[in-house]
């Protein structure tokens, strides 16, 4: 349901203190430190507490030994907080009186959406929880028109968790290796369908591109760089905004990778499964090329044995990861091949809420929103920005700021999560609409002349507009 507020004139005033619950912290002055007990029972204090439906002063730190902390007391009540502060101040007992802040939990802003995928219910898997996937889904569940290109071996398009997710499949049929099916499942397995597993991209779809390959005696798929390059080029030519490459190389020249990213396609690459691997160094520093290594269930990198070097941009779950495999089955697998599609699928969620993002902007937001890695201090400068946090990345993608600007004409400005407006004017005879999925915040100076209108809309389906 959309909620609208239409404003024809804005008058900014200080917020009035209404009769509501409040909490104050007071600090006794040093000269009253020894009188704390008598002050709490003082007839003025008892009368004040009664007026504000309060239990009176209670110690802020009752079990602490530092004598300075014994000076702090809490006063909780109901009524006009400014009046309460004034009356407490007039008592002359207190050195400080501070209104308490309201803090919020560092979790989702909405209830967690259910996930009923049967294999995951029976075989709980840490990866989606570690990257806060369900929190991300509480904001956006992905746009089916946002395609994740996967350049890989072969794809079982009849798999029950992929049949509705793979919208195209191209490239030569060769050795039929399972790797492509497994990578596709991490990024885009059908989610909340009562069967199998959940892909991080939720409603996002997969554009599958086969890479010509062979299988060696160890059962590993191998492909010439030319074949990988051909698959990437085909996906790029089809216009997909994200390409996942879970190979040890791309075959791309620097100029080719640069052109791909500058023309709107994010490249997500696996860093490698050995500590000494230094894959993708030639193109790693191009904005919009994201090299992904891994962490384990404990948010540690070291035990994975996977790559760490200066080319790594970010880490994601890469051990014991639940995914699809051939013969309509599932497995828990390991490798940076699985870490990369978590990042690619998160990028699809980001583009679903903000289709205006460039590859370099997506990379920056992924890095800025990343969480610390538990043993990251042991790999200084070698694990990129930290561990993928899908929730924070999606919030960053959907947050928009309008500041130090003038809004004119008949214009709508949208944000997929929050729209922050500051130091902004509305021009004469203008009709402006501000829309966000979660909140619209107007702060600092904001001016609108008579004759103009401002419409503020909270719309659960809002996405960023590109104006």
Question: Roughly what angle, to the nearest 10 degrees, separates helices 254-262 and 359-368?
Answer: 90
Please name each of the domains of the chain with its CATH number: 3-12+398-458 (no CATH), 20-99 (3.30.70), 118-395 (3.40.50.200)
CB 294 within 8 A of CB 318: yes
Nearest to 142 by CA among 357, 353, 342: 353
Outline where DSSP puts E strands in 133-180: 147-152, 166-170
| Phi, psi dihedrals of residue 228, rounded to the nearest 5° | -65, -45
Cα distances (angstroms) measured from residue 383 to each of 253, 273, 315, 318, 371: 24, 14, 7, 13, 12
- Cα–Cα distance between 161 and 198 in angstroms, integer? 9
Global model pTM greater than 0.85: no
Q: Which residue has the tokens 């969480």?
A: 371
Outline where DSSP puts E strands in 29-133: 57-59, 72-79, 94-99
Question: Degrees (nearest 5) of the Cα angle 237, 240, 246?
Answer: 95
Per-residue pLDDT of the chain (467 residues; tens, 9 = 90+): 566 555 443 433 333 344 588 889 889 988 888 888 888 888 888 999 999 999 888 888 776 667 888 888 889 899 998 899 999 999 888 889 988 765 533 445 455 666 788 877 777 779 999 999 999 999 999 999 999 999 999 999 999 999 999 999 999 999 888 999 999 999 999 999 999 999 999 999 999 999 998 888 878 888 888 889 999 999 999 999 999 999 999 988 999 999 999 999 999 999 999 999 999 999 999 999 999 999 999 999 999 999 999 999 999 999 999 999 999 999 988 999 999 999 999 999 999 999 999 999 999 999 999 999 999 999 999 999 999 999 999 999 999 999 999 999 999 999 999 999 999 999 999 999 999 999 999 888 888 888 899 999 999 999 999 99
Pairing of strands 242-245, 147-152: parallel
| Phi, psi dihedrals of residue 62, rounded to the nearest 5° | -65, -25
Tell me the CB-side half-sphere exposure of residue 191, using CA atoms within 13 A.
Answer: 24
């Amino acid at each position: 349901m959309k909620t609208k507020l239409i404003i024809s004139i804005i008058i900014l005033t200080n917020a009035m203190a209404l009769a509501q619950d409040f909490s104050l912290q007071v600090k006794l002055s040093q000269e009253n430190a020894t009188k704390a007990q008598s002050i709490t029972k003082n007839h003025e204090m008892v009368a004040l507490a009664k007026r504000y439906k309060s239990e009176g002063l209670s110690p802020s730190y009752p079990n602490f030994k530092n004598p300075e902390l014994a000076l702090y007391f809490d006063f909780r009540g109901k009524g006009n907080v400014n009046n309460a502060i004034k009356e407490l101040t007039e008592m002359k007992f207190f050195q400080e009186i501070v209104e308490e802040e309201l803090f919020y939990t560092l979790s989702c802003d909405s209830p967690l959406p259910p996930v009923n995928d049967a294999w995951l219910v029976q075989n709980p898997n840490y990866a989606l929880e570690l990257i806060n996937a369900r929190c991300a889904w509480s904001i956006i569940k992905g746009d089916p028109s946002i395609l994740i290109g996967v350049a890989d071996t072969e794809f079982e398009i009849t798999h029950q968790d992929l049949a509705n997710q793979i919208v195209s499949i191209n490239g030569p049929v060769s050795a039929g290796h399972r790797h492509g099916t497994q990578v596709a499942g991490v990024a885009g397995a059908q989610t909340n369908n009562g069967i199998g597993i959940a892909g991080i991209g939720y409603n996002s779809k997969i554009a599958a591109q086969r890479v010509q390959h062979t299988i060696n005696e160890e059962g590993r798929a191998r492909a010439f760089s030319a074949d990988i390059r051909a698959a990437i080029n085909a996906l790029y030519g089809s216009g997909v905004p994200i390409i996942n490459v879970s190979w040890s190389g791309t075959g791309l020249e620097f100029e080719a990778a640069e052109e791909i990213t500058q023309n709107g396609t994010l490249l997500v690459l696996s860093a490698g499964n050995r500590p000494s691997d230094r894959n993708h160094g030639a193109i790693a520093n191009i904005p919009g090329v994201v090299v992904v290594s891994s962490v384990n269930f404990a948010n540690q990198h070291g035990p994975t044995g996977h790559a760490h070097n200066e080319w790594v941009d970010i880490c994601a779950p890469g051990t014991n990861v639940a995914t699809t495999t051939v013969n309509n089955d599932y497995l828990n697998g390991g490798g940076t091949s699985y870490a990369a599609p978590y990042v690619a699928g998160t990028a699809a969620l980001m583009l679903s809420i903000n289709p205006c993002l460039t590859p370099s902007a997506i990379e920056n937001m992924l890095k800025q929103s990343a969480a610390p890695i538990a043993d990251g201090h042991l790999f200084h400068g070698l694990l990129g920005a930290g561990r993928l946090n899908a929730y924070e990345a999606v919030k960053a993608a959907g947050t928009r700021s309008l500041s130090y600007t003038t809004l004119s004409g008949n214009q709508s400005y949208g944000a997929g999560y929050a729209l922050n407006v500051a130091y902004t004017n509305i021009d004469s005879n203008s009709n402006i609409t501000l829309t966000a999925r979660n909140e619209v915040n107007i702060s600092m100076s904001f001016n609108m002349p008579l004759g103009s209108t401002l419409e503020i809309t909270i719309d659960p389906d809002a996405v960023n507009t590109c104006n």
